[in-house]
Structure 1
């Protein structure tokens, strides 16, 4: 406990909850579109928060190059391969799927469950960490801010394409951002937050900080409104992790969650334990959704319930998923070599 950052543990736990909320769709197709969109945009903050935390913790490197890569790949890549096999076997058993699918897609895309895409992204960031670590350790705050401004600008180009009818191609100046944008921006943002301690994140709830956070929220709402009502964009396009709305909302979420203070020892232990096993819970939660919950919640989808009631049911199911996944991970961790299963 003494070596952990309780604020990061809180953010990690909330991010995990939001990710599972995004993946939980019990009866939501029957409720109002507004509630579905609200749940979606709030839930889409989860993955960016994990990227920000990773940058906060991994930059600058605390180990040598090969030691860093070795530690991260053992903790992430081996469990990833293990769960790729598990999800393929579960699909073959419960969905009459083929255990081996000899086509070109499966030869290059190992992930057998949609949520495992995150592992590709985080492994890529780990691979580039030894290269960028020393540079960003010496980098000035103004250079950081320049990069983050360019990255933030790049997240608006989806709107630009819809507005102008242009497409993304390599003869367009926006192609510059292809090389410096994307998930790397969240990663570097995490280190920027740790190194320069922006007052609107680490400061108290004073008028200035409230105005800054309120402005971030308002700008996000404006982009949602413009996307839906002026550019005919879909929810998927507006909420893509590399577009401006999730970027703004994840910064806002990180700032708000950092200000939460927990003093109760029991709650701190629960948060600490959930955070410690969060990666394992992330790996297994889809199996709980697809192969355990249908046994109990299948009838809910056919009921005509109030939208708020359905949303509350989904929140309850997410909490139940975390509890079930947590205890499975804890039990498996009693076994030798369990780190190769859940990291």
Structure 2
């Protein structure tokens, strides 16, 4: 790929498309969770229970097969655009620019998720106070989706450290690291089915042999490798991208379907045994999906795509405020028999949530100082 491919006016066209799609996929994931949680919270907790075969299939299809790449796609596009750092930019300058963009909105929405549900009796004052005390340490109980902010912050912290290496590394050097990263994606499976402690892990050491070569850093290096070293033409990217996405997505969907049995409660980590974002199948699907997006050859994205792309961070932050009541309406207290067939209900929840978030974010963006609220 070339650095200028699919770009216009300083924007990379396929990146705008990817942000919009990935943002919708996040909502599709959370819409699906209403159909395998063991309680009526609307999101999957520690225990899961599928009501029937229809829910089993469609959750596996939408959440696992279609949407499971959403988080790594956000990671990889961020790295694609930010790594390596621009010449002359210091670590302090990089931190100031990135963190002033994401931290104020993150803090505002953490406070909103801590107190706003009190307005509709969605939580108690006692729970709000517990959440408030924990804010310096973790996300509020009503905002589980904000877990993503912490790995994102971690990547921003490490970019100035790895950026000089990436500028000098050869394609072969980066491939060597990526091979190690690919092997590390076996860790979630090994932890579940072999031992919870591997290669040096024990109760006094949580850092295994592969700690520093695993996790989302691998997606960061993969993004750089694709941008600067992958020389495949469009046809090859289309073919390999389609193959990798279909194989990875099919396995991801099958893994959930295989483990779930309608009417039987199961620990959510076991039901989602191959849904972690750094597993071989999700990596394969993400690599394929990203290659497919790079095949977009539009000179300019439609204005609505560019506009939503710019609003996607705020939409992600706020989406549970809309998704919860929309899902409650469709589910109507019975995940086994929602008001529409589950194959329609899941995407309908996601689409309506997406529209509400886009409109709300756009209205907020018209206010002075809106960048402190929605980025």
The Cα shift of 1:158 comes to: 2.8
Cα 1:102–1:76 shift into 2, 3 Å: closer
Q: Is the contact made by 2:139 and 2:146 (CA closer than 8 Å) also made in structure 1? A: no
Q: Is 2:40 the partner of 1:37?
A: no
Q: 2: distance between equivalents of 1:132 and 1:67?
A: 16
The Cα shift of 1:320 comes to: 1.8
Question: SS in structure 1 opposite 2:272?
Answer: helix
Q: 1: distance between equivalents of 2:34 and 2:201?
A: 43
Question: SS in structure 2 opposite 1:108?
Answer: coil
TM-score, normalization: structure 2? Answer: 0.79
* Structure 2: runs of 5+ lacking an equivalent: 1-7, 37-50, 260-265
The 10-residue stretch of structure 1 (78-87 or 19-28) with the greater mean CA deviation from structure 2: 19-28
Q: 1: distance between equivalents of 2:187 and 2:140?
A: 29
Q: Is the contact made by 1:220 and 1:244 (CA closer than 8 Å) also made in structure 2? A: no
Q: Is 2:195 the partner of 1:195?
A: no
1:1-343 superposed matches below 5 A: 2-25=9-32, 28-29=35-36, 30=51, 31-41=54-64, 42-62=66-86, 63-94=89-120, 95-98=122-125, 99-101=128-130, 108-112=137-141, 113-163=143-193, 165-169=194-198, 171=200, 175-199=208-232, 203-205=233-235, 210=239, 213-214=242-243, 217-218=246-247, 221=250, 234-262=270-298, 268-290=302-324, 292-293=325-326, 296-299=329-332, 301=334, 304=337, 309-343=341-375
* Structure 1: runs of 5+ lacking an equivalent: none
Question: SS in structure 1 opposite 2:129?
Answer: coil
Deviations 1:132-169 (A, max 9, x none): 11111111111100111100111013333455x32224
Q: 2: distance between equivalents of 1:239 and 1:176?
A: 23
Cα 1:215–1:47 shift into 2, 3 Å: closer
Q: 1: distance between equivalents of 2:288 and 2:136?
A: 39
Q: Is the contact made by 1:49 and 1:254 (CA closer than 8 Å) also made in structure 2? A: yes
TM-score, normalization: structure 1? Answer: 0.85
Q: 1: distance between equivalents of 2:351 and 2:248?
A: 31
CA RMSD of aligned residues (A): 3.1
The Cα shift of 1:172 comes to: 6.0
Number of equivalences: 333
Q: Is the contact made by 1:37 and 1:235 (CA closer than 8 Å) also made in structure 2? A: no
Deviations 1:208-263 (A, max 9, x none): 96257425643664687689869x98342201012112111111111122224447
Cα 1:249–1:26 shift into 2, 3 Å: closer
Q: 2: distance between equivalents of 1:229 and 1:205?
A: 34
Q: Which has the higher helix share?
A: 1
